Amino acid sequence: MSQALSTDVLIVGGGVAGLWLNARLRQQGYATILLESGALGGGQSLKSQGIIHGGAKYALHGALTGASEAIADMPRRWREALIGSGELDLSGVRVLSEFHYLWSPGTLAGNLTSFFASKAVRGRVDQVKGDALPAALQHPKFKGKVYRLAELVLDVPSLIARLAELAGDSLLAGHDIQPIDEGDEWVGLRVDGREIRAQRIVLSAGEGNAGLLETLGLEQPRQQTRPLHMVMLKSPRLKPLYAHCLGGGPKPRITVTTHPSSDGQWVWYLGGDLAEADGVARSEAEQIAVARKELGNLLPWIDLGDAQWATLRVDRAEPAQSSLVRPDNAFLAEQGRLLVGWPTKLALSPDLSDRVFAALTRDAIQPASHPVAPELPRPPLGEPAWENLLP
């Protein structure tokens, strides 16, 4: 027999975007149900590098875009939440590094003049030397310049766990989703025999948004995916490093973040240009060989002889844009009761929430009273990829 539930906002997708929005809505007194078909965070969120960008990387393109400005406030908002005085109480979430660094090997530093002159980085970048260098770069053979960015790096598993805690009893594990139509309008979703009606439905299912839109018979908004081929390595010899290493071009040649693995060792997770087009075309073995060579050239003093290596193919899901240009803000589209969003970056989840709140306020959607919901089957927490790939 089907179970009838009602709520103010039904959220589909329990990555960082849906979980953040859910926590904010609950805090404002809205009743919510968040539906997750897999594991919480198990899409892109737990595969991300956890950098809370403030826009510095984007200013590398030279021209200052709206992007740099929109994202500029994100580190402050996250920092406030992390000390328990922001829009959400994220105290207890592990900060892996208070700063992300920009590292220019050898003689490239001259190319950075226009970057440092840009408004996006002014006052938010400091050069560091000697003892202040990241541990992995403290070696007599290290040549180059290192700049500290006012951007932090989070342990995403602990973030997802905290947001799941803030979700209370609103989480629902479910797979089979069908729309409930009334007249010309969707008023809710039928999920595994439950009929859930809501004042608003938000799709925040990352790559899953495309399939959901198809199920609902909608052609817009369209999604694009950007494939990446990330590299990870684990060794007892690794020291933490959080840095974009610059090449000659507008994108970091390699972006290194460091994550704790459950056996107490550090995992280096490598993205940046290495993981993009050419990297995607490489086989796993070729990609590892290229990464090994890059690290060997850049950090020859680090002995990687006993490191374990793996790669991870993952797609970034974003709203479609011409010529696969990276979108710069969180994106939200609306159609009747339905809202569809992609944060485009983990760091921009607060921005996506703001956009949903703006739509609710405009439409005067207030918390309503609903019958008490029965206990719902809860989705599991996802695990970081290295736990399986580097056992």
Q: Where are the beta strands (DSSP E) in 275-366?
A: 308-319, 331-335, 338-342
Question: Please, what's the b/e burial string for 348-375 (b: 16 or more CB within 10 A of its CB; e: otherwise)?
Answer: bbbbbbbbbbeebeeeebebeeeeebee
Using alpha carbons, list the distances in angstroms from residue 83 to 77, 80, 91: 10, 5, 5
Q: What angle do CA 369, 373, 377 make, to 5 degrees?
A: 150
What is the DSSP code (8-state) at residue 139? S
Nearer to ligand FAD, 30 or 78 (CB): 78
**Residue (157 or 271) nearer to ligand FAD, CB:** 271
Q: Count how many residues are written for the chain.
A: 391
In the complex, the smallest distance separating the C-beta of residue 305 from ligand FAD, rounded to whole angstroms, is 26
Q: Which residue lies nearer to ligand FAD by CB, 50 or 384? A: 50
Contact residues for 17 (Cβ-Cβ < 8 A; gap 6+)? 204, 206, 330, 341, 342, 343, 349, 352
**Residue 26 or 53 with smaller CB distance to ligand FAD:** 53
Minimum CB–partner distance for residue 148 and ligand FAD (Å): 17
User: Closest CB to ligand FAD among 43 and 252?
Assistant: 43
Q: Whole-angstrom Cα distance, residue 109 to residue 75?
A: 25
The answer to whether 380 touches 40, Cβ cutoff 8 Å, is yes
Estimate the crossing angle of helix 156-166 against helix 16-27, to 10 degrees. 40
Least Å distance between CB 369 and ligand FAD? 26
Q: How far is the CB of 304 from ligand FAD (least distance, A)?
A: 21
Q: Compute the least distance from the CB of residue 340 to ligand FAD, in Å.
A: 11
* Angle, alpha carbons 55-249-136 (nearest 5°): 70
* In the complex, minimum distance from the CB of residue 330 to ligand FAD, in angstroms, rounded to a whole number: 9
**Spatial contact of 32 and 9, defined as CB atoms under 8 Å apart:** yes
Q: Nearer to ligand FAD by C-beta: 247 or 384? A: 384
Chain positions contacting ligand FAD, by CB under 6 A: 12-18, 35-38, 42-45, 47-51, 53, 177, 204-208, 211-212, 228, 230, 271, 314, 316, 342-347
In the bound complex, what is the minimum distance in angstroms from residue 15's beta carbon to ligand FAD?
2
Of the two residues 30 and 342, which places its CB atom closer to ligand FAD in the complex? 342
Q: How far apart are CA 70 and CA 328, in angstroms?
A: 8
Report angle CA 223, 224, 228 to the nearest 5 degrees: 140
CB of 355 to ligand FAD, least distance (A): 13
Torsion sign over Cα 76, 365, 214, 6: positive
Nearest to ligand FAD of 12, 90 (CB atom): 12
Q: C-beta of 107: minimal distance to ligand FAD in Å?
A: 28
Give 241 or 301: the residue with its C-beta nearer to ligand FAD: 241
Nearer to ligand FAD (CB atom), residue 184 or residue 219: 219
Closest distance to ligand FAD from the beta carbon of 8 (Å) = 19
- Separation in Å, CA 305 to CA 17, 92, 238, 292: 39, 36, 11, 10
For residue 133, give the nearest of 299, 265, 261 by alpha carbon.
299
Helix (H, G, I), strand (E, B) or coil at 282: coil
